[in-house]
Structure 1
Amino acid sequence: MEGRNRDLSLPLKRFVFRVEDEEDGLRLDHALMDRIHWRSRSDLQARIRRGGVLVNEQPAKASRRLQTGDEIAVLIRPEDLPDQDPARVPLSVLHEDEDVIVLNKAPGVLVHPIGRHVLDTLVNALWLRFKKSGETGRGVEPHVVQRLDRNTSGVLILAKTRAAKIALQDVFENRLAQKTYLAWVEGRPDVDAGSIRAPLARDQEGEIRIRMKVDPAGAPSHTEFEVLERHPDASLVRFHLHTGRQHQIRVHAAHLGHPLLADPLYGDPRDVGVEGDAEPRLGRQALHAERLVLPHPSGRGDLDIRAPLPNDLSSLGEGLREGLGLKRFEDRQSGTWVIRRRH
């Protein structure tokens, strides 16, 4: 069953969710309309009629009243999402050997299937790559061992075998990996370098379900930073992660008083450019995984992989270095991809 604990390296074959308290008593077809935006109501009702929607692993009628905790599974066919072609997902390989593949992840690309994104992720693209090369016949498949947010770019490592996956999971769990990020932040930090120790927890009271916050009762979280450049409206900062909490750099930067540029959750969500621009240069949070250093899963020394800044972040830097101020454009991010709480 492809529920919460499914192997994210495997192609998604069904969309699964559990009924929440606020959905208790809803008809099955109404709950699906609220959850699934990639199919029409008539299509969903047709799926229900032919047994393509399961409630607690059993076919059900559209009028079925749901109860909190019910598990709903919508079976997915390849033709359901014709616009999601794994062959169109960009793959920029920084390093590859028999155990691992290291990518320079482009912004806007998801690592693994989630929500309505079933086929257009890096994992799907790698499955296709390995199939075409004949490696899948030798037991090679992509295994997720770390994650980057959809709109974060940079170094991302995936295992190619189960043995490498286990070894890399041990590396990350024991904090043996050195992870360095570059970010453009709002304003000018007062100090040249520092350490942020602020525990993080999910923001249970906020409208956005994936949002995190600094909370004394949260998980210990430690980030070091150094300011590389200061400009009138923004600064380039290098962050070193000692823990790997969700959105850690984004929350810690905001906690410092200098949120990332164009961050829709923790800062000003508007796209940015520089004075004189007719179009924005940056339309996502200004965060890039610059470098990853970690022991090779085979035991053969260390891997030290770097990814150059992508065009949007480097172009913004060029404008700021010319002495141009920031220019704000419209907010094209908020409400488009974030998961909001149901009321």
Structure 2
Amino acid sequence: MRRVPANRGGGDGGPRRVVRISWGRANRPGVALDGHNATTLRAGRDHCRLRFRRSQARRISWVQPTTHKMWCTVSQTQPRNPSPGAQSIVPAAAKDNHATATTKPMSKVRAVPFLERGRGGSRGDGLGGAMRGLQSSRLTGYPVHLPESFMSDADRPHRVLNIAPDHAGWRLDAYLSARFSSWSRTAVQKAIKRGEILVDGRRAKASLKLEALDVLRIYTKGYAPDGPPPPLPPVLYEDDRLLVINKPPGLLAHPAGDRFAYAVIGLMKEARPSCRVDLCHRLDRDTSGVMVLSKDLEANTHIKTQLRERSAHLQKTYLALVRGDVDWTERDVRAPIGDRQDTEIRLRRGVTDEGLPARTVFSALQKHSGHSLVQCALHTGRTHQIRVHLEHIGHPILGDKVYGQPDRVFLEWHEQGATPFVRARAGFPRQCLHAWKLRLQHPDGPALELEAPLPRDMQQVVDGALPVWPAPSSTPEAES
């Protein structure tokens, strides 16, 4: 501990005292005394704490970082006897990363957001790690002014993982390689070394032992978002119990696999944080239309029971653009659906004698040159039922890369993207299937009839445009 003489004539117009703070190693606290005020810093894995007498601590500015020692300047322009109204206010939301702590009144002083709680760090952490820890401590209610560079990580697209108590004590690299089966431990260690994985807002070592409630931020390409989220899907109906949207094509209902992808459930949970938003059913990634989400557990159970038991109040109707000119006005297809054994595609289903009973009623609405618009009424709810039945009767859906195609189409599309072969065989960038109408019983009693308009790409074909495939895009991920 060391006391440095006061430096008169500070830049704030008042006396300034400079103290030298010893940054404690491991779990040994470093303590510095400034007159009658004690400042305690705990390094290692403990929280960092600062305690200053409010009458003398107007603000704290860090000037120069070193390995274990830092210079702290305490400006003494705050009145020694502040008025009773100048009380420190730390809102209850201060636990959140975006909360702010302010002092009332505070003229000409800007409050900055708190970061998450800090940890002591290794030699290489320097000022950045210390400042994150100090900023997360409550101080005295006076704002801490940091360079913008220390808060730039929060603005970059990233994936957040919250460590559950069950995973406390795991090594950082071991946890991530177990959490993401396609991410090897060696690759994880390289990402950690590159600074692409932060623990509580700070760089860490691969050997770091995780603690409960730690917050991991992942910036590695493929495992983190590469851009801003898509716009929220249009809302068709909403009340205190249900939320019904018009899902656009290309958006997952729920994340699938290790690779990051925006999905309906994540977007709507973020948009309605005060509700318990859950999916009542799913649609394939390329399928658009009516999709129902619940806002409480009872409503979720009510809707799922109707879907599972095929309630008399339930009616689901789809629209599909199919290949070929259909030669019927209506067709009732009753064919069992089960797993196919003659395919390399695991998710592919087919009509099999051992399958579960399935029934779909098709009605021809429009006939065009080489394709037709068909209405599909579901009487059972098997996986890929409409796609399987349309393939079974010789009219697969336009743009479908699985049904009505050899395995090579889907496998090549999945591995290489929109190659000339895939484009020629599929004829359209996505399967032209749309969840058009849905009738169900509301959890509070009345019947709901919902309808979603056709998306633009299908509507253009219905209006007479020829099916086209736009310019090739990047390699897509597997279908849900």
TM-score (norm 1): 0.69
* 1:317 aligned partner: 462
Q: Among 285, 290, 305, which residue is 1:170 paired with? A: 305
- Are positions 1:92 and 2:234 aligned together? yes
User: 1:43 corresponds to which letter in structure 2?
Assistant: A
2:470 and 2:272 map into 1 onto residues whose CA distance is 41
- Indicate the residue corresponding to 2:293 in structure 1: 158
2:287 is the counterpart of 1:110: no
CA distance in 2, matches of 1:122, 1:85: 16
Cα contact 2:399–2:431 (8 A) shared by 1? yes
* Aligned equivalent of 1:296: 442
Tell me if the contact between 1:86 and 1:119 (Cα under 8 Å) persists in the aligned partners: no
Structure-2 separation of matches of 1:76 and 1:208: 35
Contact 1:112 1:122 in 2 (8 A): yes
TM-superposed deviation, 1:247: 0.8
Partner in structure 2 of residue 101 of structure 1:
243
Q: How do residues 14-33 of structure 1 correspond to structure 2 at under 5 angstroms?
A: none
TM-fit CA distance, 1:119: 5.5
**Residues 197-236 of structure 1 aligned to structure 2 (within 5 Å):** 197-236=334-373
Q: Which whole-Å deviations, capped at 9, do the CAs of 1:206-254 have from their partners, x for residues lacking one? A: 1111111110100111100100011220000000011111111011001
Residue pairs, 1:68-83, within 5 angstroms: 77-80=217-220, 81-83=223-225
In 2, the alpha carbon distance for the partners of 1:148 and 1:92 equals 16
The alpha-carbon distance between structure 1 residues 127 and 326, as it changes in their structure 2 partners (threshold 3 A), is closer
Give the superposition deviation at 1:43: 2.9
Unaligned segments of structure 1, at least 5 residues: 1-10, 15-27, 53-60, 62-74, 272-279
CA contact (8 A) 2:429 2:469 kept: no
For residue 226 of structure 1, give the secondary structure of its aligned residue in structure 2: strand
The answer on whether the counterparts of 1:198 and 1:221 sit within 8 Å (CA) in structure 2 is: yes
Mapped to 2, the partners of 1:267 and 1:293 lie a distance apart of 30
Q: State percent identity of aligned pairs.
A: 35
CA distance in 2 between partners of 1:326 and 1:194 (Å): 25
Give distance in 2, aligned partners of 1:202 and 1:331.
32
AA of the residue aligned to 2:328? V
Question: Could you say if the C-alpha distance between residues 172 and 200 of structure 1 is closer, same or farther in structure 2, counting changes exceeding 3 Å?
Answer: same
Change (3 A) 1:98 1:252: same
Identify if the C-alpha distance between structure 1 residues 216 and 48 changes in structure 2 by more than 3 Å, giving closer, same or farther.
Answer: farther
Contact 1:90 1:106 in 2 (8 A): no
Aligned length: 270
Q: Deviations over 1:148-176 (max 9, x none)?
A: 00000000001110010111111111112
Looking at structure 2, the residues matched to 148 and 12 of structure 1 have their Cα atoms a distance apart, in angstroms, of 25
Report the structure number with the largest CA radius of gyration.
Answer: 2
Find the aligned partners of 2:394 and 2:471 in 1 and give their Cα distance. Answer: 22
**CA distance, structure 1, for counterparts of residue 160 and residue 329 of structure 2:** 45
* Distance 1:174-1:189 versus aligned 2 partners, 3 A rule: same
Name the counterpart of 2:316: 179
* Alpha-carbon spacing, 1:76–1:237, altered in 2? closer, same or farther (3 Å): farther
The one-character-per-residue Cα deviations of 1:182-229 (angstroms, maximum 9, x if unpaired) are: 000011122100111111112233111111111010011110010001
8 Å Cα contact 2:277-2:293 kept in structure 1: yes
2:391 to 254, 257, 266: 254
1:71 is matched with which residue? none
What is the one-letter code of the residue matched to 1:239?
C
CA RMSD of aligned residues (A): 3.7
